[in-house]
Amino acid sequence: MTEKHNKNWNEIKTNDSWALFKIMSEFVDGYERLSQIGPCVSIFGSARMNPGDKFYELAVKVANKIVDQGYGIITGGGPGIMEAGNKGANIGGGTSVGLNIELPFEQHDNPYIDRDKNLNFDYFFVRKVMFVKYSQGFVVMPGGFGTLDELFEAITLIQTGKIDKFPIILVGKKYWTGLLDWIIATMSEKFGTVNSDDLKLIELVDNEDEVIEILDKFYNQFDLSPNF
């Protein structure tokens, strides 16, 4: 390796080391601000849904119903389903939290987040820790790869005992049934890569009343508290 290449490699290693301070600051700020919000449920889903779309309007209803039960709402802070979740919380007078992250094309904070609960992150992994640590449940609306990432991370953490169990509710049977059928038929039954008991972590519903029923049933048995 040439002297020039050695110099460049050393600069990269130095930059990586200094990034730890930025990462640490995001964790500290997130912990300090979110530890005060009280029991909340996270709503995930596509950033590409617009007002008037079926699932956008359903997310508004779901969020509104959730805050009516005394929970706050946490979203990714952006447009689409995230905006709908914060809008429903705002309409219902509940806590409305946005965990924002800057993305090239579609991420900007929405106007329905409480001003003092609008957090910005540079690192996806720090942001995901905040979702899990300060949520008492995940409500997963139709979405893309980011939604699937958040869904499967939560399932994995519960499955492996890294966090306590909490409700994971998929909303939209027509959207999610194909995925669940594949997991059951291929991953569980054909190849055995998923234990059938792991599928019990997931609930599948179609409306806001079913979401509330699942949350109430679960938390009639368990106290509300942060998850790790």
pLDDT of residue 161: 93
How many structural domains does the chain have?
A: 1
Q: Is residue 224 in some structural domain?
A: no
Q: Is residue 227 in some structural domain?
A: no
Low-confidence ranges of the chain (pLDDT < 70): 1-14, 104-107, 223-228
- pTM for the model stands at 0.91
pLDDT of residue 119: 97
pLDDT of residue 102: 79
Q: Is residue 228 in some structural domain?
A: no
pLDDT of residue 103: 75
Domain of 160, CATH number, reads 3.40.50.450
What residues form DSSP beta bridges with 61? Answer: none
pLDDT of residue 5: 56
Query: What are the two backbone dihedrals, phi and then psi, of residue 42, each rounded to the nearest 5 degrees?
Result: -90, 140
pLDDT of residue 13: 60
- Total Cβ atoms within 10 A of residue 225: 8
Q: Is residue 226 in some structural domain?
A: no
Q: Is residue 166 in some structural domain?
A: yes
Q: CA-to-CA distance for 81 and 175, rounded, in angstroms? A: 15
pLDDT of residue 4: 55
Q: Is residue 69 in some structural domain?
A: yes
pLDDT tens, residue by residue, 167-180: 999 999 999 999 99
Q: Is residue 19 in some structural domain?
A: yes
Structural domain of 132: 3-219
pLDDT tens, residue by residue, 82-127: 999 999 999 999 999 999 997 766 557 899 999 999 999 999 999 9
Tokens 């998929």 correspond to what residue? 170
**Ranges of H-type helices in the chain:** 3-34, 54-68, 81-91, 124-133, 145-159, 173-182, 208-219
pLDDT of residue 228: 32
pLDDT of residue 14: 63
